[in-house]
Amino acid sequence: MFRSPAVLSVATATLCVLTLISSKAVAWQYVDEIDGVDIYERDARYLGNQTLQSVVEVDAPIGRVISVFTDPDERSNWMSRVADHEVLHIDGDVEDSWVESYWMRIDMPFPLSDRDYVLASSYELNPEEQKLTVVTRSIYDERKPENGCCVRAQSVMRYTVEAIPGEDRTRIEMIAETDLDLDLPRHLIRSAGSDWSADTLSALAALAMSEDVPIDERVKDWP
The enclosing domain of 114 has a CATH number of 3.30.530.20
Confidence band of 94 (pLDDT split at 50, 70, 90)? confident
- What is the tally of structural domains in the chain? 1
Chain mean pLDDT for the chain? 84
Q: How many CB atoms lie within 10 A of CB 199?
A: 17
Q: How many CB atoms lie within 10 A of CB 46?
A: 9
Instruction: Please state the rounded mean pLDDT for residues 10-38.
Output: 65
Kindly report the pTM of this predicted structure. Answer: 0.84
Instruction: Please state the rounded mean pLDDT for residues 39-64.
Output: 82
At residue 113's C-alpha, the angle toward residues 108 and 115, to 5°, is: 65
d(CA 127, CA 95) in angstroms, rounded, equals 11
Confidence band of 92 (pLDDT split at 50, 70, 90)? confident
Confidence at residue 136, expressed as pLDDT on a 0 to 100 scale: 96
| Number of alpha helices (DSSP H) and beta strands (DSSP E) in the chain | 4, 10
**Number of residues assigned to the chain:** 223
Burial of 105 (0-12, 13-18, 19+ CB in 10 A): middle
**Could you tell me the residue range of the domain that residue 142 belongs to?**
5-219
